[in-house]
Amino acid sequence: MSLPRVPAAFGYRMPAEWHPHAATWLTWPKDPVTWPDRVPEVQEIFLQFIDALTPHERVCLLVDDGDVAAQVRERCAGRALDAANLQLIEIETVDSWIRDYGPNFLLGPAGELAFNHWGFNAWGGKYETLMRDASVPARLDALREVPKFDPGIILEGGSIDVNGAGTVLTTEQCLLHPNRNPGLTRQDLEGYLRLFLGVHQVIWLGEGIEGDDTDGHVDDITRFVGVDTIVTAVEPDPADANHGPLLDNLARLRAARQPNGEPWRIVELPMCGYVMADGDRLPASYANFYIGNRVVLAPMYRHANDALAQQTLQELFPAHRIVPIQCEPLVWGMGSIHCVTQQQPQSSVPLSPM
């Protein structure tokens, strides 16, 4: 059911990713255009996600039909997963970027579940076929009775990150790009974020990393890891194209203040060098991790900084197990772990499995 007013009017807000989850949503990968000659490897990566997540939370995996569901069940046989926590949902999709086209879940003042159905235009109209996934949230039968809000503008889930306490991170490169919402000003967009995410403060960073076809999604560069703590990617090599933009973002974060006037705690995360495909740089970043219940799925790239990135995340999440996953095949599709996951927070009225 769709509500005529905005989430903030009902006391809804987007919780932080570390808020306890009821489920993680995924879409089974299959597109050979997205992952040329790598679909089997990417599917194995998704199975590693399921192995790591299902002991601690439900995984809602979107599959095209019953044949695909049977194939997935066969692939899962004998693996270290909790099969009772794997829910296969038959719904046709084009691709796996559910972070950007999927439901953006919210919680109300008494823990009630709702979601935003933002518009999705395949990152500024770059991939016409993928625009069909914009309808996925409206076609999910499991959410038919969950209150739904329709903001009426384009916004991808990877372009925002919240601390659950009133602050959102985003980038000027993405949200202000004319290929998303031409005619809307910075002030207009801040208004939408306040009304539909339940935030009070917007921290604007500048640009994302080289090779990012999303026009600078924040989840590749800077993430909240605590109510007052932000981890941000840095590149010390001045010859690297990422050096300047990431240095600028670091300076903006250091100048920003929490609502109480205190500085944010800023933790630096290394970059992973050059991950290439056919001579082009891919948007590989350790910042594209995913925070699950009791585990953090961490992208690795067989780089010298892998160990340091894993250690940094472990220090930031001492109560979680860091699960390193080699993601070079996945990032060939121009995204990594966070881009293909979507968290559903634990709510006061749990959804029944379909």
Percent with pLDDT over 70 in the chain: 98
Is 346 a domain residue?
Answer: no
Q: How sure is the predictor about 98, in pLDDT bands with cuts at 50, 70 and 90?
A: very high
264-287 residue pLDDT tens = 999 999 999 999 999 999 999 999
168-194 mean pLDDT: 97
Is 126 a domain residue?
Answer: yes
Is 350 a domain residue?
Answer: no
Is 142 a domain residue?
Answer: yes
- Measured CA angle at 281 (ends 278, 286), to 5 deg: 130
SS (HEC) of 241-267: CCHHHHHHHHHHHHHCECCCCCECEEE
Domain enclosing residue 86, as ranges: 7-341
The pLDDT value recorded for residue 177 is 98
Is 353 a domain residue?
Answer: no
Taking the C-alpha atoms of residue 107 and residue 232, their distance in angstroms, rounded to an integer, is 27
The pLDDT value recorded for residue 191 is 96
Q: How sure is the predictor about 349, in pLDDT bands with cuts at 50, 70 and 90?
A: confident
Q: Indicate whether 354 pLDDT > 70.
A: no
Take residue 28 and report the two structure tokens written for it: 């089974």
Contact between 44 and 76 under an 8 Å Cβ cutoff? The reply is: no
Active-site residue, selected from the candidate residues 60, 174, 272, 339: 339
Is 351 a domain residue?
Answer: no
Residues 6+ apart with CB under 8 A from 300: 286, 306, 309, 310, 324, 325, 326, 327
Contact between 95 and 133 under an 8 Å Cβ cutoff? The reply is: yes
The pLDDT value recorded for residue 1 is 43
Taking the C-alpha atoms of residue 22 and residue 342, their distance in angstroms, rounded to an integer, is 11
Is 207 a domain residue?
Answer: yes
- Helices 39-53 and 66-76: crossing angle in degrees, nearest 10, is 70
Contact between 27 and 62 under an 8 Å Cβ cutoff? The reply is: yes
Contact between 202 and 168 under an 8 Å Cβ cutoff? The reply is: yes
**Domain at 122, CATH number:** 3.75.10.10
Is 352 a domain residue?
Answer: no
Number of domains forming the structure of the chain: 1
61-92 residue pLDDT tens = 999 999 999 999 999 999 999 999 999 999 99
Q: Indicate whether 3 pLDDT > 60.
A: no
19-44 residue pLDDT tens = 999 999 999 999 999 999 999 999 99
Which is nearest to 115 in space by CA: 88, 89, 153, 151?
151
Per the DSSP assignment, residues forming a β-bridge with 268 are: 232
DSSP state string for 46-113: HHHHHHHHTTTSEEEEEESSHHHHHHHHHHHTTSSS-GGGEEEEE---S-S-HHHHS-EEEE-TTS-E
Q: Indicate whether 147 pLDDT > 80.
A: yes
205-244 residue pLDDT tens = 999 999 999 999 999 999 999 999 999 999 999 999 999 9
Q: How sure is the predictor about 353, in pLDDT bands with cuts at 50, 70 and 90?
A: low
314-340 mean pLDDT: 98
Residue 60 bears catalytic tag: no
Q: Indicate whether 246 pLDDT > 80.
A: yes
